[in-house]
């Protein structure tokens, strides 16, 4: 493996909810006898009344649904964020097709601020009318209003769509859980965070900041770059408005301000995103800041080696024990052969790219501080067949104000050197 060049920066990352009867009717599996379904719902409502009440409580924080089609099967990965210990399922419906079937579910409780639930649903669309298939899910209710209070404690929904023309489709890849929702209220710390969406089908992507159901306004100063997907909140006065949500005795920690928008592919497919910012100041326990990095390299043989690092904002030092790293990487599209490995003790990533196609690959790793507040770092690997192919022909330019480094030419095994580094909270 020959690493052509690399650069490193700093990253900024957070999660969402459904209905009691929707969970009973998992994934839209319909009972053949309506009476049986009624009896089951009634029995559960009687014996687990407290659970049914909880299901209608206010604890949804946000989410997104990402659709793909393979061999006529529509798959939707639904990521939702919730108040701790309150995650629920909500089955999506496809217009003109009907409900979907739940294939798997997993709840990540590792972050102390929220729980993240990932459900995978499928449905056969091979006989559906070709065109844009609209997908929706929703229930009640959003978290109790506090903090900035720019949302209503009422129903929520999630929406996405995919263009169906009889062939396989993967218009948008997006992992909402890797976004850092933490916004500093301290002076001079403007928020900047990329959505990090890509298109495996090589479609052009655009972005907007449309309001989702019962989000009444965006945070003042909040913008989404329509071309790059970079989210920013500019201005000390605007960020100071994101005060702490103290409802339910502090159970809604981190649910301080709502935001939403859409990722739109050029074929008409889209993914709606909907979540909440967590306002913090010097007195708060702030999330660690994991370094982002970009590596330009030639396709194998030999591995790419990279060490993830993170800084603890409380003291500015590199994150160490009792902080920790998640052993599971989050991989973007295109990983088909030998997968990257990650040692959480050394933060070392190793990836043998032999057999991979040239292109861009996204790898994310997560660090936690001693209070289990987490953040993801993004490693972008640009694989090329020749050092003269873009983008390996030159080091990508750093953000404004950062000096351009010399290009690194490293033969065989070895770590990518650091080209540039910057705290993303300082970017404009």
Class of the CATH domain delimited by 3-13+285-426: mainly beta
pTM > 0.85 = no
Specify the pLDDT at position 283.
Answer: 61
Summarised one tens digit per residue, pLDDT across range 229-238 is 999 999 999 9
Specify the pLDDT at position 288.
Answer: 86
Distance, in Å, from the CA atom of 384 to the CA atom of 390, rounded to the nearest integer, reads 7
Which regions of the chain are under pLDDT 50?
Answer: 2, 4-5, 7-56, 397-428
How buried is 202 (Cβ within 10 angstroms: 0-12 exposed, 13-18 middle, 19+ buried)? exposed
Summarised one tens digit per residue, pLDDT across range 36-91 is 333 333 333 333 333 333 344 569 999 999 999 999 999 999 999 999 999 888 99
Specify the pLDDT at position 390.
Answer: 80
Distance, in Å, from the CA atom of 428 to the CA atom of 426, rounded to the nearest integer, reads 7
Specify the pLDDT at position 275.
Answer: 95
Specify the pLDDT at position 175.
Answer: 86
> Who contacts 297 (Cβ-Cβ below 8 Å, separation ≥6)?
1, 2, 3, 4, 304, 353, 381, 382, 383, 384, 392, 416
**Strand, helix or coil for residue 268:** coil
How buried is 406 (Cβ within 10 angstroms: 0-12 exposed, 13-18 middle, 19+ buried)? exposed
Specify the pLDDT at position 300.
Answer: 84
All structural domains of the chain with their residue ranges: 3-13+285-426, 20-280
Specify the pLDDT at position 411.
Answer: 26
């Amino acid at each position: 493996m020959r690493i052509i060049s690399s650069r490193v920066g700093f990253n900024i990352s957070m999660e969402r909810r459904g209905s009691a009867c929707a969970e009973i009717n998992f994934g839209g599996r319909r009972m053949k006898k309506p009476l049986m379904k009624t009896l089951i719902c009634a029995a559960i409502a009687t014996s687990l009344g407290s659970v049914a009440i909880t299901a209608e409580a206010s604890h949804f924080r946000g989410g997104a649904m990402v659709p793909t089609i393979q061999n006529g099967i529509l798959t939707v990965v639904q990521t939702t964020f919730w108040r701790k210990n309150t995650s629920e399922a909500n089955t999506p419906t496809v217009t003109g097709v009907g409900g979907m079937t739940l294939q798997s579910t997993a709840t990540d409780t590792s972050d102390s601020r929220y729980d993240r639930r990932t459900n995978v649903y499928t449905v056969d669309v091979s006989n559906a009318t070709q065109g844009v298939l609209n997908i929706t899910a929703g229930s009640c209710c959003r978290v109790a209003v506090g903090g900035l209070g720019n949302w209503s404690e009422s129903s929520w929904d999630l929406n996405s769509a995919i263009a169906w023309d009889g062939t396989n489709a993967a218009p948008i890849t997006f992992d909402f859980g890797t976004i850092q929702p933490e916004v500093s209220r301290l002076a001079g710390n403007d928020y900047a965070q990329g959505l990090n969406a890509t298109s495996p089908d090589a479609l052009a992507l655009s972005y907007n900041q449309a309001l989702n159901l019962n989000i009444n306004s965006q945070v003042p100063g909040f913008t989404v770059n329509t071309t790059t997907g970079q989210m920013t909140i500019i201005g000390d006065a605007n960020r100071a408005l994101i005060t702490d949500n103290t409802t339910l005795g502090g159970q809604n920690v981190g649910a301080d301000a709502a935001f939403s928008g859409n990722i739109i592919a050029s074929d008409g497919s889209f993914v709606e995103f909907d979540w909440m910012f967590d306002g913090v100041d010097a007195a708060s326990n702030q999330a660690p800041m994991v370094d982002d990095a970009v590596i330009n390299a030639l396709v194998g043989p030999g591995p790419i080696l990279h060490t993830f690092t993170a800084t603890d904002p409380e003291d500015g030092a590199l994150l160490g024990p009792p902080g920790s790293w998640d052993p599971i990487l989050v991989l973007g599209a295109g990983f088909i052969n030998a997968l990257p490995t990650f040692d959480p003790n050394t933060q070392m990533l190793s990836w043998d790219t032999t057999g991979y196609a040239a292109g861009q690959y996204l790898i994310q790793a997560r660090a936690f501080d001693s209070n289990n507040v987490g953040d993801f770092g993004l490693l972008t690997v640009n694989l090329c067949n020749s050092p003269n192919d873009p983008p390996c022909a030159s080091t990508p330019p750093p953000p404004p104000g950062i000096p351009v480094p010399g290009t690194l030419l490293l033969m065989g095994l070895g770590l990518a050197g650091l080209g540039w580094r910057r705290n993303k909270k300082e970017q404009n």
